[in-house]
């Protein structure tokens, strides 16, 4: 990952009939402004009295984004006999932007929120090497897989302080389903809130039905100092977490990243396709009500149960914190599908929003905007 | 109480490319005097009220979320070289010229570059300086499930006393705009013709 510039504070656009632009001076001004602010706070910082009012300035992000790519999912299982996987997972703490000018210190598996999507078949064995490198971590971490029989789902034997060296555990996946994994270090809520959760999919012996596309999104709440949208660096707020009163509820640690206005833009699908969404609700606290605006979950695998027959044509469901559910949709007509938690204050006020832009032929028999 | 720094996003729509902007506006916090941007002298020093028919040198539009997303006032009138400042009063919005390069159909004069604030959130500002006479229509492109545009969050800046004939903003059929975007724009057209067409 590469460093990025300071969050945009403002930009200046000079517009002319000739197209000549005079931008450079003012873009530089952003940096100058940042410096000025830091200078003006310098004495306070030096005297240790900063923080009475407002937030410290936004910090320089370590990474372009903390958000995982929702399309970064391993291929479906194509083997018929148990096999052994060797996975290596390291924890990484990074400063990243929630939205422009708003930063926090995220905690992650492999530098992304949610952590990587792991995929295997029931009966497979996983040999896991777990590391907490001291150049990337200040805190103790571990990993608890809900797909594992054993103490703490593996957490007891993977608990490492930074730089202590790697731990290795081995487990057999005895039961299928989509399951959460997460950090469980004592302050579970803090570490999960800040990004330490993800999905392990244990496919049943016969696999899952084939689909055209799969997406993987991680919902979580951020409990932070300061107000939603306030410029500056927001430290974790343990009291707000205890009150379950988040400042942000997000997919993948970033405000509306996968929307038309977001940095990455909407996800993509095409008319005629079947799309599967893995809705990983890390929490740490809130129950999610997944709903696809402009579509329906034609197959809904409640709580990630892949053995029971899925429910059909579900508008929404309840996904508790610490559960990955699976929904499938048919792409019947073009246009945007908004993926929301139907507790809609989280959409309007707190940033939880992703879109799938469906491209293809209109079908006026199914939907006609102007009959 | 919120402690929000007013940030400005600036744009200058100039009739010629030579009209460079001298520099960034001073940030109120960075300048250290704590003065609110609204207290700056140019706001009250000159010109008319900014209502249609009474052009101002500088006028402020608030972008509100309640009772529904909209620009207040929806139409402002500035002198050539005048500045419009948008202040965000609730959640997140954009101030985006109607132009194929930014969003939707062309509803600004030919030959000027369209402005676009991108997403701007509560406590932040966006400014555009308009050098060339004409009618400039713009929109809040933010979309949750429906769009702010469809809820009527469209706006108009009239610069100077343009000849209404040939203005793309008035030639374009508002029926192409969604839902209340069309309704509100038709009201703006009626007001504009009534105020500016008799000379």
- Contact between B18 and A348 using a beta-carbon 8 Å cutoff: no
ipTM greater than cut 0.85: no
A294 vs B contacts (CB less than 8 Å) = 145
Model confidence band, residue A191 (pLDDT cutoffs 50, 70, 90) = very high
- Contact between A14 and B132 using a beta-carbon 8 Å cutoff: no
The pLDDT, as a whole number, for residue A25 is 30
The pLDDT, as a whole number, for residue B38 is 41
Q: What is the mean pLDDT of residues A183-208?
A: 97
Of A198, A196, A233, which Cα lies nearest the Cα of A218? A198
Share of chain A above pLDDT 70, in %: 86
Q: What is the mean pLDDT of residues B185-194?
A: 97
Question: DSSP states of B33-99 as a string?
Answer: S---GGG-THHHHSB--SSTTS-EEEEEEEEE-SSSSEEESSEEEEEEEEEEEEEE-SSEE--EESB
Model confidence band, residue B188 (pLDDT cutoffs 50, 70, 90) = very high
A226 vs B contacts (CB less than 8 Å) = 3
- Contact between A33 and B10 using a beta-carbon 8 Å cutoff: no
CB atoms near residue A45 (< 10 Å) = 12
B138/B64 Cα distance (integer angstroms):
15
Please give, rounded to a whole number of angstroms, the shortest distance from the CA of B145 to a CA of chain A: 6
- Contact between A261 and B142 using a beta-carbon 8 Å cutoff: yes
Of B76, B8, B85, which Cα lies nearest the Cα of B42? B85
User: Which tens digit of pLDDT belongs to each residue from A322-360?
Assistant: 999 999 999 999 999 999 999 999 999 999 999 999 999
Contact A317, A341 (CB under 8 A): no
Q: Please indicate if any CB of chain B lies within 8 Å of the CB of A140.
A: no
Which residue of chain A comes nearest to B141, CA vs CA? A261
**How many Cα atoms sit within 13 Å of B50 on the Cβ side?**
20
Which pairing describes strands B154-159 and B75-88: parallel, antiparallel, or unpaired? parallel
Which residue of chain B comes nearest to A354, CA vs CA? B144
Contact A103, A96 (CB under 8 A): yes
Domain spans of chain B, in order of start: 40-194
B182 vs A contacts (CB less than 8 Å) = none
Q: What is the mean pLDDT of residues A119-143?
A: 98
Q: What is the mean pLDDT of residues B107-124?
A: 96
Class of domain B40-194: mainly beta
**How many Cα atoms sit within 13 Å of B24 on the Cβ side?**
25
Contact A185, A100 (CB under 8 A): no
B19 vs A contacts (CB less than 8 Å) = 14, 16
How long, in residues, is chain A?
A: 371
Model confidence band, residue A7 (pLDDT cutoffs 50, 70, 90) = very low
Chain mean pLDDT for chain B: 82
- Contact between B111 and A17 using a beta-carbon 8 Å cutoff: yes
The pLDDT, as a whole number, for residue B185 is 98
Q: How far is CA A83 from CA A170, A172, A199, A209, in A?
A: 13, 10, 20, 21
Which sign, positive or negative, has the C-alpha torsion B120, B124, B130, B136? positive
B183/B167 Cα distance (integer angstroms):
19
Q: Which two tokens stand for residue A203?
A: 């496919």
Chain mean pLDDT for chain A: 89
B87/A155 Cα distance (integer angstroms):
49
The pLDDT, as a whole number, for residue A358 is 98
B99/B109 Cα distance (integer angstroms):
10
| Least CB–CB distance from B23: residue in A21, A26, A261 | A26
A37 vs B contacts (CB less than 8 Å) = 29-30
Q: What is the largest CA-CA distance in chain B?
A: 49
Q: Which residue, among B109, B113, B140, would best test binding to A if mutated, counting the most A CBs under 10 Å from its CB?
A: B113
């Amino acid at each position: 990952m590469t460093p990025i510039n300071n969050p945009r504070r403002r930009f200046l656009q000079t517009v002319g009939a000739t197209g000549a632009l005079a931008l450079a001076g003012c873009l530089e001004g952003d940096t100058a402004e940042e410096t000025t602010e830091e200078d003006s706070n310098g004495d306070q910082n030096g005297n240790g009295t900063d923080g009475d009012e407002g937030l410290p300035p936004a910090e320089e992000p370590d990474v372009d984004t903390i958000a995982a790519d929702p399309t970064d999912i391993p291929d479906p299982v194509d083997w018929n006999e148990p096999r052994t996987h060797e996975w290596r997972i390291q924890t990484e703490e990074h400063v990243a932007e929630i939205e422009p000018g708003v930063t926090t210190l995220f905690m992650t598996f492999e530098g992304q929120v949610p952590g990587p999507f792991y995929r295997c078949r029931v009966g497979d064995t996983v040999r896991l090497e777990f590391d907490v490198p001291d150049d990337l971590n200040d805190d103790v971490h571990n990993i608890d897989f809900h797909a594992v029989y054993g103490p703490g789902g593996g957490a007891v034997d993977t608990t490492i302080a930074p730089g202590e060296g790697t731990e290795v555990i081995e487990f057999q996946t005895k039961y299928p389903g989509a399951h959460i994994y997460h950090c469980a270090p004592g302050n579970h809520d803090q570490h999960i809130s800040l990004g330490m959760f993800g999905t392990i999919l244990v496919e049943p012996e016969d696999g899952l039905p084939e689909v055209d596309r799969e997406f993987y999104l991680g919902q979580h709440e951020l409990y932070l100092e300061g107000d939603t949208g306030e410029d500056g660096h927001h430290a974790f707020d343990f009291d707000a977490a205890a009150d379950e009163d988040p400042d942000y509820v997000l997919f993948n640690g970033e405000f509306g990243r996968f929307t038309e206005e977001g940095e990455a833009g909407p996800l993509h699908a095409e008319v005629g396709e079947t799309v599967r969404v893995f809705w990983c609700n890390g929490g740490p606290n809130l129950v999610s009500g997944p709903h696809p605006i402009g579509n329906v979950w034609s197959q809904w695998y409640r709580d990630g149960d892949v053995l029971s027959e899925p429910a059909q044509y579900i508008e929404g469901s309840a996904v508790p914190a610490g559960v990955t559910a699976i929904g499938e949709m048919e792409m019947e007509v073009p246009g945007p599908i908004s993926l929301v938690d139907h507790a809609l204050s989280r959409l309007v006020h707190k940033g939880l929003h992703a879109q799938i832009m469906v491209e293809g032929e209109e079908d006026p028999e199914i939907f006609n905007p102007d009959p | 109480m919120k402690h929000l720094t007013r940030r400005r996003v600036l744009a200058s729509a100039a009739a010629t490319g030579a009209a460079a902007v001298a520099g960034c506006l001073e940030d109120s916090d960075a300048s250290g005097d704590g003065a609110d941007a609204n207290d700056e002298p140019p706001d009250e020093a000159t010109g008319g009220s900014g209502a249609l028919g009474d052009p101002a040198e500088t006028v402020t539009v608030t972008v509100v979320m309640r009772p529904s997303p909209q620009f207040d006032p929806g139409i402002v009138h500035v002198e050539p070289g005048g500045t419009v400042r948008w202040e965000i009063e609730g959640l997140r919005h954009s101030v985006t010229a109607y132009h194929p390069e930014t969003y939707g159909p062309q509803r600004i004069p030919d030959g000027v570059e369209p402005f676009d604030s991108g997403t701007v959130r509560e406590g932040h500002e966006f400014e555009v300086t308009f050098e060339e006479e004409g009618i400039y229509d713009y929109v809040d492109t933010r979309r949750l499930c429906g769009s702010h545009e469809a809820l009527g969050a469209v706006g108009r800046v009239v610069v100077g006393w343009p000849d209404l004939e040939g203005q793309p903003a008035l030639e374009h059929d508002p029926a192409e705009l969604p839902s209340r975007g069309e309704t509100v724009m038709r009201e703006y057209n009626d007001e504009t013709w009534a105020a500016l067409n008799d000379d």
